[in-house]
């Protein structure tokens, strides 16, 4: 999985033949060998990628304010809150408002006995066959009981490149962004990342 | 081994230009050299003055035949010829007793000066060399050689380049001035 994602991010290599074809399409004698041009292109491309990967920071990408849930909140209540807001996960905080973990759909599913990544059909089958749909497992429990912690967090000055790498390496889907004193101030999700990369695409086209 | 391997060359030649490009290169260089040689032969013939230099043939290759090249831009054309002429005349006047040394110093120093001033223009090397090996007609000009033929000749060629190279829709000259 991880291997595949990395392979996809390798930039398109241009060949000397591509350069020759491009040079043919441009009127006039270009005073550079195709090999030298390719070298210049690759070096410039690497710089452009580096610039893009450092130009956007967590503070620019993150959704804010972020909805945090208290670690002592009842699980059913927390599920209702997430459902109402239409989000799939949130940072968990202690009574002082400092982050202590992250809770997501995955934690709920795990707690209900489905494993971390069940398909909808597995859940549906379970629910059809077992009365109560295993929701009983959630009763009288708190967010703190099922959350994933200690959490992986980021600071506002983290770059988009660092965030992407972290998502890939740690196999996470959301990254709470915290202030120096540990309070969640925003969250970067995979969707936020996808949006920001599409902005790069627009820029390249215009 | 690497030393010898490098001599094999691993790149390839840029593609051939279109026939239209060839035609405009021909027209431009014909008119450019015609302009300087007309002045030279028709106006200055009996005066002992000069307007044409062998190195202008080389400049013509660049400013009419490879007009996008950084080496072909006005800064390089004018700067290259003027600075190299200056270096060449100085080399002859200081070291003229040893022509081989004056010639070598003229060309090598001209290249260094052009590099340092970002005015590299290959024909400049020839302009510096001609100042030494050009014979009595060149030597008698002294530093006038810098102004004429070097600077003025290059200016005439530049004017023709500006006029001719900007006629075709997809040709433009220069890329930059200075």
Distance from CA of B175 to the nearest CA of A (A): 12
B90 pLDDT more than 60: yes
Distance from CA of B24 to the nearest CA of A (A): 10
Q: What is the pLDDT of residue A7?
A: 44
Contact A83, A67 (CB under 8 A): no
For residue A23, which residues of chain B lie inside 8 Å, CB to CB? 14-15
Q: Give the residue from A171, A191, A160 showing the smallest Cα distance to A5.
A: A171
Is residue A46 within a helix (H) or strand (E), and if so which, with residue range? Answer: helix A34-55
Distance from CA of B23 to the nearest CA of A (A): 11
B31 pLDDT more than 60: yes
Looking at residue B178, what DSSP letter applies? -
The token pair that represents B77 in the structure block: 């054309």
What mean pLDDT value characterizes chain B? 94
Q: Give the residue from B159, B65, B59, B142 showing the smallest Cα distance to A29.
A: B65
For residue B65, which residues of chain A lie inside 8 Å, CB to CB? 29
Q: Give the residue from A116, B41, B156 showing the smallest Cα distance to B148.
A: B156
Q: pLDDT-based confidence at B86, cuts 50/70/90? A: very high
Residues 6+ apart with CB under 8 A from B119: B75, B76, B78, B79, B80, B83
A202 pLDDT more than 60: no
Summarised one tens digit per residue, pLDDT across range B122-155 is: 999 999 999 999 999 999 999 999 999 999 999 9
Contacts for B105-113: CB closer than 8 Å, 24+ residues apart: B106/B131, B106/B132, B110/B83, B110/B84, B113/B83, B113/B84, B113/B87
Average pLDDT over every residue of A173-184: 90
d(CA B63, CA B36): 14
Contact B142, B89 (CB under 8 A): yes
Q: What is the pLDDT of residue B87?
A: 98
Cβ-defined contact of B66 to A36 (cutoff 8 Å): no
For residue A31, which residues of chain B lie inside 8 Å, CB to CB? 66, 68-72
Summarised one tens digit per residue, pLDDT across range A15-42 is: 888 888 988 888 888 888 888 898 899 8
Cβ-defined contact of A16 to B12 (cutoff 8 Å): yes
Residue A163, φ and ψ in degrees, nearest 5: -65, -45
Q: What is the pLDDT of residue A116?
A: 66
Helix, strand, coil shares, percent, chain B, to 5: 70, 0, 30
Residue with tokens 């190279």: B165
Question: Which of the residues B10, B14, B70 would you substitute to probe the A interface, choosing the one with the greatest number of A C-beta atoms within 10 Å?
Answer: B14
Residue B46 contacts A where some CB pair is shorter than 8 Å: no
Average pLDDT over every residue of A103-112: 83
Q: Give the residue from A193, A80, A72, A198 showing the smallest Cα distance to A141.
A: A72
For chain B, the domains span 19-165
Q: pLDDT-based confidence at A206, cuts 50/70/90? A: very low
């Amino acid at each position: 999985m991880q291997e595949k994602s990395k392979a996809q991010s390798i930039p398109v290599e241009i060949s000397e033949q591509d350069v020759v074809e491009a040079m043919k399409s441009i009127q006039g004698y270009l005073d550079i060998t195709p090999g030298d041009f390719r070298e210049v292109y690759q070096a410039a491309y690497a710089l452009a990628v580096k610039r893009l990967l450092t130009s956007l920071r967590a503070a620019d990408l993150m959704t804010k304010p972020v909805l945090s849930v208290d670690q002592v909140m009842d699980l059913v209540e927390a599920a209702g809150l997430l459902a109402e807001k239409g989000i799939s996960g949130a940072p968990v905080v202690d009574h002082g408002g400092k982050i202590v973990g992250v809770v997501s759909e995955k934690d709920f599913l795990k707690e209900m006995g489905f494993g971390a990544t069940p398909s909808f059909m597995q859940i549906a089958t379970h629910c059809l066959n077992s009365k109560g749909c295993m929701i009983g497992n959630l009763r009288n429990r708190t967010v703190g009981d099922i959350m994933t912690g200690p959490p992986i967090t980021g600071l506002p000055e983290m770059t988009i490149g660092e965030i992407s790498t972290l998502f890939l390496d740690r196999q996470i889907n959301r990254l709470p962004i915290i202030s120096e004193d540990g309070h969640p101030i925003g969250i970067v999700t995979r969707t936020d990342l996808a949006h920001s990369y599409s902005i790069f695409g627009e820029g390249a086209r215009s | 081994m690497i030393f010898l391997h490098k001599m094999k060359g691993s790149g390839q030649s840029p593609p051939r230009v279109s026939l239209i490009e060839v035609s405009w290169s021909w027209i431009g260089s014909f008119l450019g050299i015609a302009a300087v040689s007309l002045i030279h032969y028709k106006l200055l013939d009996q005066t002992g003055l000069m307007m044409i230099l062998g190195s202008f043939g080389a400049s013509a290759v660049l400013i009419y035949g490879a007009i996008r090249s950084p080496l072909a831009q006005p800064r390089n054309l004018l700067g290259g010829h003027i600075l190299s002429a200056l270096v060449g005349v100085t080399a002859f006047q200081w070291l003229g007793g040893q022509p081989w040394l004056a010639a070598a110093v003229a060309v090598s120093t001209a290249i260094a000066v052009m590099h340092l001033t970002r005015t590299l223009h290959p024909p400049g090397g020839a302009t510096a060399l001609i100042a030494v090996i050009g014979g009595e007609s060149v030597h008698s000009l002294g530093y006038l050689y810098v102004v004429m033929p070097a600077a003025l000749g290059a200016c005439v060629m530049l004017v023709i380049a500006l006029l001719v190279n900007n006629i075709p829709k997809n040709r433009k000259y220069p890329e930059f001035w200075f």
